[in-house]
């Protein structure tokens, strides 16, 4: 682990991560859509539109990041997201929300692969790629700590007007634009010696990465199974929290503010874990982390269906480990791909998750309507545990050997 952290570029990266906090609107997002006259079927259509746009946009936007530069791709994505959040606060019809959701997803696809690619290449030039998990984890902790305040503020703002959290989030997101303008483009992109990435070569890089031994099993293990179930947890936090807390005696008019504090707790747990991502990687190891976590999460989701009050701590912890796990997964993939086409490959990984979550989403929605959201997550836990077991029987997704030498 590099001893000279943080460098100036890393400090700017932390500032940029602080502007990405989404917790202002997240605790009341679905309540806002319902207040605007949308029903649950339309909300599901919005989520499907988001995923479809992600599927169609991830590789092309990752390719843009590799061609025009990681920082420029981040600038474009940040601007699109800020404008979209403003629009969401003004939208009143389903078609308007549908169009804005597509733009929202597109903005994130411009940032998804390029962000990690920028950081990894910057650390390779300035410090060491071995510092990626530590720096990214601490960056996530910065965003989550801002999110602690944002969730509480968002809950109270939402109790006044459900549009306000979106507009405040838009303002904070826009602050990221001048921060990004101060960030340099890593030399591995600028000084590539004229090595221009063609579309044909980009597709070949993606195909080679997805079929590479060890990496192919990890893609199935994390980006298909684990990431899809985590997405379901994100969707069902609010209805499950409302059901459980109302059964415990909470008043209906206190739910929004309570959700704000609950999401603040999620961010706090996530921040603590993310800040220590490098320590977790060194002491626990990637193999142990990914060996234990899917089975532990699967068992916990089943347990909270049997004992509903367990949902409060289980959902908090599962959502809390999501960012840390995403960082470790990105470290694993980055160590096994080349710098040229890095953003394209990372975007392809996100595309795999977006494709996979659609049947999970539709199936869990049907189960939730037929039985309950708790039952739907329990089924998801069983699928996660059983599916993970089959992956390990087929091929170990994380080898027992150490980190490979960086591919140049």
- Nearby residues of 205 by Cβ (< 8 Å), 6 or more positions away: 337, 338, 340, 341, 344, 345
Cite the DSSP H helix spans in 164-310. 164-181, 187-190, 199-211, 215-218, 227-247, 255-275, 277-283, 286-306
Which DSSP string corresponds to 130-154? GGHHHHHHHHHHHHHHHHHHHHHHH
pLDDT at residue 207 is higher than 80: no
Residue of 89 and 340 predicted with greater confidence: 89
Model confidence pLDDT, tens digit, residues 309-336: 999 999 988 888 887 888 888 778 777 7
Are 172 and 154 in contact, with CB atoms under 8 Å apart? no
pLDDT at residue 221 is higher than 80: yes
Lowest-confidence segment of 43-47, 64-68, 263-267 by average pLDDT: 64-68
Domain positions in the chain are: 8-189+198-394
Cα–Cα separations (whole angstroms), residue 130 to 196, 278, 382:
26, 9, 35
C-beta atoms surrounding 361 within 10 Å:
18
Burial class (CB within 10 angstroms; exposed 0-12, middle 13-18, buried 19+) of 8: exposed
405, two tokens: 């030498």
Closest to 60 in 3D by CA, of 72, 73, 49: 73
pLDDT band at 59; cut points 50, 70, 90: low
Percent of the chain whose predicted confidence (pLDDT) is above 70: 81
Mean pLDDT of the chain: 79
Model confidence pLDDT, tens digit, residues 184-206: 777 654 444 444 445 555 555 55
Cα–Cα separations (whole angstroms), residue 67 to 62, 73, 389:
9, 9, 39
Model confidence pLDDT, tens digit, residues 357-398: 777 877 877 788 788 889 989 999 999 999 999 988 888 888
Looking at the domain 8-189+198-394, which fold is it?
Growth Hormone; Chain: A; (1.20.1250)
Q: What is the pTM of this model?
A: 0.70
């Amino acid at each position: 682990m590099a001893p000279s952290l943080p460098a100036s570029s890393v400090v700017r990266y932390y500032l940029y991560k602080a502007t990405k906090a989404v917790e202002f609107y997240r605790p009341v997002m679905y309540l806002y859509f319902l207040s605007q006259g949308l029903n649950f079927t339309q909300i599901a259509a919005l989520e499907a539109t988001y995923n479809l746009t992600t599927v169609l946009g991830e590789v092309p936007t990752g390719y843009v990041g590799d061609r025009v530069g990681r920082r420029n791709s981040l600038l474009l994505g940040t601007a699109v997201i800020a404008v979209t959040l403003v629009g969401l606060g003004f939208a009143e019809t389903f078609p308007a929300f549908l169009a804005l959701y597509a733009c929202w997803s597109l903005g994130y696809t411009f940032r998804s692969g390029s962000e990690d690619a920028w950081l990894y290449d910057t650390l390779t030039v300035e410090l060491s790629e071995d510092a990626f998990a530590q720096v990214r984890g601490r960056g996530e902790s910065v965003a989550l700590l801002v999110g602690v305040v944002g969730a509480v503020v968002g809950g109270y703002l939402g109790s006044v007007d459900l549009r306000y959290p979106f507009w405040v989030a838009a303002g904070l997101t826009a602050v990221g634009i001048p921060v990004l303008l101060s960030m340099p483009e890593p030399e591995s992109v600028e000084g590539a010696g004229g090595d221009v990435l063609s579309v044909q070569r980009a597709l070949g890089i993606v195909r080679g990465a997805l079929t590479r031994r060890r990496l192919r099993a990890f893609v199935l293990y994390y980006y298909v199974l684990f990431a899809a179930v985590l997405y379901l947890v994100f969707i069902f936090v609010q209805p499950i929290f409302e059901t459980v807390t109302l059964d415990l005696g909470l008043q209906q008019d206190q739910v929004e503010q309570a959700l704000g504090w609950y999401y603040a707790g999620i961010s706090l747990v996530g921040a603590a874990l993310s800040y220590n991502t490098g320590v977790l990687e060194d002491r626990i190891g990637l193999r142990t982390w990914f060996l234990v976590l899917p089975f532990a999460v699967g068992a916990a989701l089943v347990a909270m269906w049997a004992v509903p009050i367990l949902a409060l701590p289980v959902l908090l912890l599962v959502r809390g480990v999501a960012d840390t796990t995403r960082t470790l997964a990105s470290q694993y993939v980055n160590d096994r791909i080349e710098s040229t086409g890095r953003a394209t490959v990372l975007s392809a990984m996100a595309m795999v998750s977006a494709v996979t979550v659609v049947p999970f989403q539709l199936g869990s929605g049907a189960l939730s309507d037929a039985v309950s959201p708790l039952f739907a997550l329990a089924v998801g836990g069983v699928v996660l545990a059983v599916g993970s077991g089959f992956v390990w029987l087929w091929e170990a997704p994380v080898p027992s050997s150490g980190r490979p030498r960086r591919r140049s």
